[in-house]
Amino acid sequence: MDTRLETLVSKHNVRLHSHDVRYGSGSGQQSVTGVSAVEDSNSYWSIRGTSDASCARGTPVKCGQTIRLTHVNTGRNLHSHYFTSPLSSNQEVSAFGEEGEGDHLDEWTVQCGGSVWKREESVRFHHKATDALLSVTGEQYGRPIHGQMEVHAMSSTSQHSLWKVMEGIFMKPSESPTGSRDYSHIHTEF
């Protein structure tokens, strides 16, 4: 039940990124990093509902709504837990699960200013289970992912935990509630 495919960019101007490279320490799960490259398909994430609450295609994501972010190329969900991140010693963020199915540690609450997440708005992603925010503070990896920045979770709110959508595909609802197609509404929400 994918709602939209997006690239999320941090205040450090890096895109939320993943690939089938595992951490050499901590959880050993698929790594999540930040990259500056615009054209990398490993930076696309699908915004999905949780196992308890679906996210119907074309429905705006509400501020305060809990979602899952699924990495498009590997099918693993953005995930966090109490493992220590490799560079900054903050909380590790990884990609976990298979084909969009994972566990409760894949759930993030969208923090934004209005009633719904709007395209031009910076938001925060609050990890529901550990009470931490998705963040990037500038630490860079060496081999095998040279130059990519560490993405981690932190308990404090700062500019490092702000994210904004850049590239993406918004999927409109296939039908209006009355059953006929209506594409006259200009969508600015997510």
pLDDT-based confidence at residue 180 (cuts at 50, 70, 90): very low
In angstroms, how far is the first alpha carbon of the chain from the final one? 15
Residue 155, classed as helix, strand or coil, is coil
Residue 173 to residue 36: CA distance in whole angstroms: 32
pLDDT tens per residue across span 67-110:
999 999 999 999 999 999 999 999 999 999 998 889 999 999 99
Residue 177 predicted with pLDDT over 60: no
Q: What is the pLDDT of residue 12?
A: 83
Q: What is the pLDDT of residue 171?
A: 63
Confidence (pTM): 0.85
Among 9, 29, 8, residue whose Cα is nearest residue 77 = 29
Residue 158 predicted with pLDDT over 90: yes
Residue 137 to residue 112: CA distance in whole angstroms: 20
Residue 176 predicted with pLDDT over 90: no
Residue 109: count other Cβ atoms within 10 Å of its Cβ.
Answer: 15
Residue 65 to residue 73: CA distance in whole angstroms: 24
Residue 46 predicted with pLDDT over 70: yes
- Please, what's the b/e burial string for 155-182 (b: 16 or more CB within 10 A of its CB; e: otherwise)? eeeeebbbbebeebeeeeeeeeeeeeee
Q: What is the pLDDT of residue 112?
A: 96
